[in-house]
């Protein structure tokens, strides 16, 4: 009986967990004006890799802050957008113990705030919507438990109260493996 339980749960023993903390540069367009918005992003990802295979599953939460200024004829407007994405992040990774490349998905929600200030008025809105995208990146081992992470992420954010849009992120950070 004990041997049967041990054999059925052995796949749970061969699991690797990772925690990655990233930060970086963000660029996007404010859709109603096509103004270029730039900013920064921080992101945390917890993932587990069952049986230490090529597929892992993760949960990510982050914060994105972008700003833009747009001038049309005599009016100048400033745009500030804050986004909180929370998503499921499946990852396919290839490579060896020292260097791994990966393709990661993003499927979840975001909570966003939008603010536009102009010559005579201020418009604000808050919304939540779909967050989806894909990442391409690499992990470079420093020790057996610590690695450097680099990543490019493209994502789509849907909004009902203001324009939907695409966000591009270039990030780097540090990660930790634990079992």
Largest distance between two CA atoms of the chain = 81
Is the model's pLDDT at 88 over the cut of 90? yes
Is residue 125 assigned to a domain? yes
Is residue 110 assigned to a domain? yes
% of the chain exceeding 70 in pLDDT: 87
Is residue 1 assigned to a domain? no
What pTM was estimated for this model as a whole?
0.85
The pLDDT of residue 4? 44
Is residue 97 assigned to a domain? yes
Is residue 2 assigned to a domain? no
- What domain count does the chain have? 1
Kindly report the average pLDDT of the chain as a whole number: 87
Look up the CATH number of the domain holding residue 80. Answer: 2.40.160.20
**Domain carrying residue 51:** 16-178
Is residue 11 assigned to a domain? no
């Amino acid at each position: 009986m004990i041997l049967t339980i041990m054999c059925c749960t052995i796949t749970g023993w061969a699991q690797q967990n990772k925690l990655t903390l990233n930060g970086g540069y963000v660029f996007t367009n404010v859709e109603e004006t096509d103004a270029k918005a730039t900013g920064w992003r921080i992101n945390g990802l917890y993932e587990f890799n069952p049986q230490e295979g090529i597929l892992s599953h993760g949960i990510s939460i982050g914060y994105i802050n972008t700003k833009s200024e747009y001038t049309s004829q005599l009016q100048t407007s400033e745009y500030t957008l804050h986004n909180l994405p929370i998503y499921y992040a499946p990852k396919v990774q290839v490579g060896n113990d020292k260097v791994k490349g990966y393709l990661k998905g993003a499927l979840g929600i975001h909570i966003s705030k939008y603010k536009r200030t102009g010559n005579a008025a201020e418009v604000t809105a808050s919304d939540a919507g779909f967050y989806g995208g894909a990442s391409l990146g690499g992990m470079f081992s420093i020790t057996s438990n610590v690695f450097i992470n680099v990543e490019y992420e493209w994502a789509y954010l849907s909004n009902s109260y203001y324009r939907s849009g695409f966000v591009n992120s270039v990030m780097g950070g540090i990660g930790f493996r634990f079992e």
